[in-house]
Amino acid sequence: MREKQRKPLIRQRKDRALWEVRFPTFDEYGLPEWKSIYFKSERDGLKAVAAWKYEDEHAIVVIASHRTVKSWAEEWIKDGLKLLGLRPSTIDSYRTLAVTHVIPSKFGRLKLKEVSPHHIKVFREELKAKGLSTSTIRTMHTVLNHLFRMAIDKNQLRDNPMTSVRRPKQDEREQRRFTADEVRRLLLAAKGSRYYFVIVFIALTGVRRGEALALAWKDVNFAKRSVQISHTLERSRGFEEKAELRRGPTKTKRGKRAIEIGTVGTEMLRKARAYQASERLRAGSQWEDEGLVFPTAVGKKCDPRNLYRAVAVAAKKAGIIEGSPHTFRHSVISQFLEGDYLPDHKISRTMGHSSVSITTETYGHYKSLGEDQAFDRWAEDIGIA
């Protein structure tokens, strides 16, 4: 608790432009000193005095910390990340951003107590200049927010400098999508690849890469022409020493869903099953059956990175400048919205978005068919009917 005889002093400056509040505090050696803060109105100054008195009465003390952002980020990685209850892949992403961009930067050399919203904005511009996407910078915003909140919880910081810094908006130009013609060309280029069927499945349904690779035969209902999306496959380390392929829960609660894939989608899965049977014969005793629809040539979990490469190779072969498995997702959602395929809420549910607003705000909107008919119509548009 602060010394009782030393209380804040408030006065209006001689020029009457601002109100000054002088707060009693201590320097880095623990010696008493005064710190002046200026406010536009007397009311704001009195609010600050009231807050000081509350902290004084309740013995709220912030340690005079000399910790740098770098040292605090290292501690946060070690002790704070695991308290957030995040998915292993998210933990990997946050750790990578902190290690790659925060710890070695000039920003990392700042003392925690020195960090201001201005420093954060400058750091963000530096990341942008390095070529980081808006999406990555948005994630960095979340990382820094968690990092500073832990500093407050541990009494290393009084206020979170992120409070007055807005998270950057997603750049709509980053939502690259294929045209129906590009999808046709890419699928034609992918023929002959062992990844052909999973590429067709993603191109048709717009499911996430990990959701497709986690699909099991028990999740396929040929009679109802539907699949149940209930897991995702990802390579992540989490808190383990080595990264490994994990079949875990979907990205969101609404990610767990049934999709009616239509006649074309159902027939494509029948062909995929026949192709898998031929691979199983070739593998012989090496086959390890994990019950997956799109496994490796020996039945095991397929690394998502290999699918990414397969799409990139097919895109290049088709003369398409850029594209990834996720580009198909953007294509399906955009086409379904703009082409009057399904109502917004059905598209949102089919794609496993956490809310309808995610679908409409990100991709725009429109409306109409039954779900299996919509996929058959899209299949016709991209030449796989």
Closest by alpha carbon to 198, among 177, 178, 183, 212?
Answer: 212
Query: Is 332 found in the same domain as 199?
Result: yes
- Position with higher pLDDT, 352 vs 336: 336
The answer to whether the beta carbons of residues 260 and 371 sit under 8 Å apart is: yes
For residue range 204-234, what is the model confidence (pLDDT) as tens digits? Answer: 888 889 999 999 999 999 999 999 989 888 8
Across the chain, mean pLDDT equals 81
Residue 207 located in a structural domain: yes
Q: What is the pLDDT of residue 346?
A: 58
Q: Where does 187-240 show beta strands of DSSP type E?
A: 220-221, 226-229, 231-236
Coil, helix or strand at residue 376: helix
Q: How far apart are CA 147 and CA 81, in angstroms?
A: 9
User: Can you spell out the DSSP letters for 266-305?
Assistant: HHHHHHHHHHHHHHHHHHGGG-----BSS--TTSSPPPHH
**Would the pLDDT of 3 be above 50?**
no
Q: Which residue has the tokens 């009084």?
A: 158
Counting the structural domains of the chain, the total is: 3
Instruction: State which residues form the domain around 324.
Output: 180-381
Domain end (from 132, 148, 171):
171
Q: Please give the biggest Cα pair distance in the chain.
A: 91
Residue 75 located in a structural domain: yes
- Position with higher pLDDT, 185 vs 366: 185
pTM over 0.85: no
Residue 64 located in a structural domain: no
Query: Is 331 found in the same domain as 214?
Result: yes
CATH number at residue 152: 1.10.150.130
Query: Is 90 found in the same domain as 27?
Result: no
User: What average pLDDT does this structure show over 180-188?
Assistant: 89
Residue 119 located in a structural domain: yes
Query: Is 160 found in the same domain as 87?
Result: yes
The answer to whether the beta carbons of residues 306 and 195 sit under 8 Å apart is: yes
For residue range 87-123, what is the model confidence (pLDDT) as tens digits? Answer: 777 888 899 999 999 999 999 999 988 899 999 999 9
Query: Is 222 found in the same domain as 361?
Result: yes
Query: 353, exposed or middle or buried, with CB in 10 Å at 0-12, 13-18, 19+?
Result: buried
Q: How far apart are CA 94 and CA 146, in angstroms?
A: 10
Residue 319 located in a structural domain: yes
Domain end (from 171, 200, 220):
171
Query: Is 166 found in the same domain as 211?
Result: no
CATH number at residue 340: 1.10.443.10
User: What average pLDDT does this structure show over 266-271?
Assistant: 94
Domain end (from 34, 57, 80):
57
Q: How far apart are CA 129 and CA 135, in angstroms?
A: 14
Q: How far apart are CA 332 and CA 37, in angstroms?
A: 55
Query: Is 250 found in the same domain as 151?
Result: no
Query: Is 184 found in the same domain as 101?
Result: no
Query: Is 254 found in the same domain as 230?
Result: yes
Q: Which residue has the tokens 């023929």?
A: 191
Query: Is 25 found in the same domain as 146?
Result: no
Portion of the chain with pLDDT greater than 70, in percent: 76
Q: How far apart are CA 176 and CA 329, in angstroms?
A: 10
Residue 3 located in a structural domain: no
Q: How far apart are CA 32 and CA 6, in angstroms?
A: 9
What the block records as the tokens of 154 is 């541990």
The region that residue 251 occupies, defined by phi over 0 for left and psi between -120 and 50 for alpha, beta otherwise, is alpha
For residue range 135-163, what is the model confidence (pLDDT) as tens digits? Answer: 899 999 999 999 999 988 887 888 899 98
Residue 186 located in a structural domain: yes
Residue 157 located in a structural domain: yes
The answer to whether the beta carbons of residues 221 and 212 sit under 8 Å apart is: no
Query: Is 195 found in the same domain as 162?
Result: no
**Would the pLDDT of 356 be above 50?**
no
How remote is the C-alpha of 279 from its chain's centroid?
35
What the block records as the tokens of 43 is 């009311």
Cβ atoms within 10 Å of 66's Cβ, excluding its own: 11
The answer to whether the beta carbons of residues 115 and 69 sit under 8 Å apart is: yes
- Position with higher pLDDT, 366 vs 321: 321
Q: How far apart are CA 80 and CA 76, in angstroms?
A: 4
Query: Is 198 found in the same domain as 342?
Result: yes
Q: What is the pLDDT of residue 357?
A: 47
